[in-house]
Structure 1
Amino acid sequence: MFRSIISFAGALLVLASVNCAAEELKLGAELPAVTVLDENGAEVNLGDYADKPYLLVYFYPKANTGGCTKQGCSLRDAYTELTAMGVTVIGVSTDSPEAQKSFKDKNHFPFTLLADQKAEVAGAFGVPMMGNFTSRQAYLFANGKLVWLDKKASTQKQADDVKAAISELSS
């Protein structure tokens, strides 16, 4: 009996650690206008990017970890090509502005990183959470409308996937 109570309590804790996100964005959805701090502690409203030809908002679980670094470096290494295609890149995790700044500086990322400490951006996008960590996902907007999403975003090939999506959208 005691063992059953412990198992049930453990299951409740696991369920409680999975944050319920809002409904996930669907193709054609408007860019959510959510305001959070960037790596420098400045407020950034994603809605201000709705007029960009393309906006890539990519989510990663934790700054300065292996897969997240590979994902960011993929976008960094293709940044010149992506910007030539009209892409603005923004990374999002639940890390603090200080952790985001360290991550950005260490890896020489030329794009903005958002500190979504209360998972407001993740919630607006419907990104699943495990405890305090977002799932790795990527969203591409064209002029404020969602045109492509990747629910299992790649680490090393994130930039290639985005370029392929834009190529397909352009044809």
Structure 2
Amino acid sequence: MKSITQIFSAVTATILTGGAHAEPLAVGASLPVVEQKNQDDQLVKLAEAGAKGYTLVYFYPKADTPGCTKQACSLRDSYTALTEKGVKIYGVSTDKVEAQKAFKEKYKLPFDLLADSDSKVVDAFGVPKNMGFSKRQAFLFKDGKLVWADQNASTEKQAEDVLKFLAGS
């Protein structure tokens, strides 16, 4: 028989994660076949977009909040170095299109931000959620296959971590 503490913990975890708990993608996994609208209300098909070269899909809890801004600006500030290595970047949060557009414009982010308000992308990648917000994580694919995953993505050093991986591969 389960203790009341075990039951309470399970119920609390279910409430905080919205009941969803998919397994995170493992190295070697294919880029999920999922699509979502970007900040300009245009549909982005991730598997097609990431079929060739490197594709970084990074997740953040909420647009225009301190940690998420640092993470996005880290990638913005290293955008030239990343694109010279052939990396395409997609940021994903559960924000709506309008919030993603405002975030991109405010910080002059040179990459697409996907408005995953229905969590299709978050769930396809197995990213945990807390009270509807995705956990900060990052996934790097090469030719559609996962080559690097950061389950506890950095805020200020997101770009540095990706570049460090690319330098060693």
Question: How many Å apart are 1:18 and its aligned residue?
Answer: 1.1
Question: How many Å apart are 1:21 and its aligned residue?
Answer: 3.1
Alignment of 1:64-79 (within 5 A): 64-79=64-79
1:91 aligns to what?
A: 91
Q: Flag the 1:11–1:32 CA change in 2: closer, same or farther, 3 A.
A: closer
State the identity %.
50
- Structure number with greater Rg is 1
1:35-64: CA deviation from partner (whole Å, max 9, x where unpaired): 111101111110112323100000000000
2:125 aligns to what?
A: 125
Question: TM-score scaled to structure 2, two decimals?
Answer: 0.91
2:11 aligns to what?
A: 12
Instruction: Give the paired residue count.
Output: 163
Alignment of 1:105-124 (within 5 A): 105-124=105-124
Distance in 1 between residues matched to 2:123 and 2:162, nearest whole Å: 22
Structure 1, unmatched stretches of 5+, are none
RMSD of equivalent CA atoms = 1.7
2:22 aligns to what?
A: 22
Question: How many Å apart are 1:10 and its aligned residue?
Answer: 9.8
Q: Flag the 1:10–1:76 CA change in 2: closer, same or farther, 3 A.
A: same
Amino acid at match of 2:128: P
Secondary structure of the corresponding residue to residue 118 of structure 1? coil
Structure 2, unmatched stretches of 5+, are none
Question: TM-score scaled to structure 1, two decimals?
Answer: 0.90
